[in-house]
Amino acid sequence: MKLTLNKFHVKDIQFAEKSSFEGGVLYIDKAELAEYLLKDSNISSVDFDIARPGESTRIIPIKDVIQPRYKKSGTGQIFPGFVGDVETVGNGETNVLEDCCVATSGKIVAFQEGIIDMSGPGAEFNSFSKMNILVPLIQPIEGLDKHTHEATVRIAGLKTAAYMAKQTLELEPEETQSFEHETILEMGVKYPDLPKVIYVDMVQCQGLMHDTYVYGLNVKGILSTLISPLEVFDGAIVSGNCAAPGHKNATIHHENNPIILDLLKHHGKDICFVGVLLSNESAMLKEKMRAAYYTSNLSRIIGVDGIIASEEGGGNPETDLMLNCKFHEQKGIKTVLVTDEYCGRDGASQGLADVTPEADAVVTNGNGNQFVVLPKMDKIIGDIEAARVITGGNANSIGDDGTLSVEIAAIMGSCCEMGYEHMTTRLR
């Protein structure tokens, strides 16, 4: 399987009478895009705003962050099950907008939504502040239940991202990046002496608006499954998660999963990267046991020597993480865990809700309880009052002087457990 990413670098986003991509500028016809999104009868109104790197701008609340992509050739379409039909992706050519993303906002969906500051100390906690951001402000119809509200905003964001990248279809990319990944049988022949490694991608599916979708299917209740890393880059995994913004895997994180990227770089050189195992994180202990047992059994059947497992979320998902570690190690499979911590503002408390003696190789991506004071911004996109109720904020978070006092858990992606940000994980 081969996937080529055609990359276009976005220097700016501007509103215009016609959507296009010219000279590094993405022009967006607001009326045309709004008409497209308003085909969803659950949206009463939609507006758009733009945030640029270095501006005195704060976006709050944010539901999801998405990198614009659109398939130029090959089977399927980006974000299958939502934008494209349910058809296998991970092949052909996909156009990608770099230095650019979509951040969905509007009426708050749930308390676990986040903040992006485009300048100041808050901007240092995520890479989104270095991107040109289009913000769809989605207002649902009155009386919409929260689960339908979440789905409405999620799909609107995916459609917006696909619409943006589609503007490059007839253009030549500035650069390309190609990935190839063989079948397991082919790997066994080509790399018989290399240690076989699999990536266990733990995905939230606890209900209660903590959900992840694969080919449009909520992974809640599925048994662990093998997926090609190239499918992940092509939008097969989509966030529907209202977990704490600091450590939820937004859709952009799945599209650019740094653990997968690094494993592919080492594939065929010093390791044999077999593929990605999706292991779901349930709220029930019986289901946690089932997922971890089944994941470790698949690893044993495939014959891997080691795994890297990354967590999503925190608290009871640490039990999923430790069970995956324990059961793999008991089968003789070496395990490395990737997580973050919540160890109090002074860093003195226990960082994880669960541990196991087998967890002797653990990488952390920061302390979500770290406290910061964010300066007043000249422009607010969204509703600053959301800071009083979102994760990491409190009733007194908004100062009289316009400052914002929060834990970094409130900042989108600050402690990403895939190692996407500057508090990061890298395979050397």
Q: pLDDT for 75-103, tens place per residue?
A: 999 999 999 899 999 999 999 999 999 99
Provide mean pLDDT across the span 121-150: 95
With respect to residue 309, please indicate whether it lies within any of the assigned structural domains: yes
Tokens encoding 52: 């640029």
Nearest to 209 by CA among 80, 65, 78, 108: 108
Indicate if the pLDDT at residue 402 is higher than 70. Answer: yes
Tokens encoding 261: 């990227």
Catalytic residue among 100, 101, 205, 242: 242
Tokens encoding 139: 């207002």
Q: How confident is the model at residue 426 (pLDDT cuts 50, 70, 90)?
A: low
pLDDT, one tens digit per residue, over 93-134 is 999 999 999 999 999 898 889 999 999 999 999 999 999 999
With respect to residue 265, please indicate whether it lies within any of the assigned structural domains: yes
The DSSP output letter for 77 is -
With respect to residue 343, please indicate whether it lies within any of the assigned structural domains: yes
pLDDT, one tens digit per residue, over 19-48 is 999 999 999 999 999 999 999 999 999 999
Number of domains in the chain: 1
Nearest to 311 by CA among 411, 214, 203, 218: 203
Query: Could you give the percent of the chain with pLDDT greater than 70?
Result: 99
Q: Which residues contact 36 (CB under 8 A, 6 or more apart)?
A: 159, 163
Indicate if the pLDDT at residue 175 is higher than 70. Answer: yes
C-alpha 143/C-alpha 146 separation (Å) is 9
C-alpha 425/C-alpha 418 separation (Å) is 7
Provide mean pLDDT across the span 41-65: 97
C-alpha 79/C-alpha 72 separation (Å) is 13
Q: Are 123 and 117 in contact (CB under 8 A)?
A: yes
Nearest to 240 by CA among 90, 94, 66, 71: 66
pLDDT, residue 427, reads 47
C-alpha 309/C-alpha 311 separation (Å) is 7
pLDDT, residue 242, reads 84
> Which structural domain, as residue segments, surrounds residue 153?
2-410
Indicate if the pLDDT at residue 423 is higher than 70. Answer: no
CA atoms within 13 A on the CB side of 294: 18
Provide mean pLDDT across the span 343-358: 90
C-alpha 81/C-alpha 93 separation (Å) is 19
Task: Identify the weakest region by mean pLDDT among 26-35, 199-208, 268-277, 289-298.
Answer: 199-208
Other CB atoms within a 10 A radius of the CB of residue 245 amount to: 32
Q: Which residues contact 278 (CB under 8 A, 6 or more apart)?
A: 201, 203, 214, 219, 222, 224, 225, 226, 227, 237
Average pLDDT of the chain, as a whole number: 94
Indicate if the pLDDT at residue 252 is higher than 80. Answer: yes
Indicate if the pLDDT at residue 189 is higher than 50. Answer: yes
With respect to residue 298, please indicate whether it lies within any of the assigned structural domains: yes
With respect to residue 423, please indicate whether it lies within any of the assigned structural domains: no
Nearest to 131 by CA among 176, 64, 67, 198: 67
pLDDT, residue 424, reads 56
With respect to residue 421, please indicate whether it lies within any of the assigned structural domains: no
Indicate if the pLDDT at residue 143 is higher than 70. Answer: yes
| Partners of 97 in beta bridges | 8
With respect to residue 214, please indicate whether it lies within any of the assigned structural domains: yes
pLDDT, residue 1, reads 86
242 catalytic, yes or no?
A: yes
With respect to residue 416, please indicate whether it lies within any of the assigned structural domains: no
